[in-house]
Amino acid sequence: MKAVLQRVREASVTVDGEITGAIGTGLLVLFCAEQGDRLAEADYFSSKISKMRIFTDTEGKMNLSLADIGGSLLIVSQFTLAANWRKGNRPGFSAAASPDEGRQLYEHFCHSLEKLGHTVEKGIFGAQMEVRLLNDGPVTIVMDSSDKS
């Protein structure tokens, strides 16, 4: 499982000319389920994201969580995070979860964050999307379940 968190002042996702999700201050999360990922990993990711202190306090230190600032999440499925780019010039995506598994994990991840009390906006799984954001910082965190440290 992979997720890229971007601290934003605002973000939106558009499908076929229609905005499907939009937030103000919070996190844009690009989410990728990979083969072998489990619901427990999605729960772990949502818990870590919920508690991660990456928003600045009054002294300018990253000391506040999403809940502390009352921020929202825009979660976009992005299987291309599973790209194998090492061989040849055309990346392969065989490490990504199947569409059915990916959708299940994506929906579970979103629901898990909602259960933690967060406002969650979403893209449309599997759709061609346009994502707009105003990055804040910039602060970008890459999460990968294969990292064991």
Q: Which residues are catalytic?
A: 78-80
| Residue showing tokens 């772990």 | 44
Task: HSE, CB side, 13 Å, CA atoms: give it for residue 3.
Answer: 27
d(CA 29, CA 47): 14
Give every CB contact of residue 130 below 8 A, 6+ residues apart in sequence.
13, 14, 15
d(CA 44, CA 113): 10
Which tokens go with 128? 């061609």
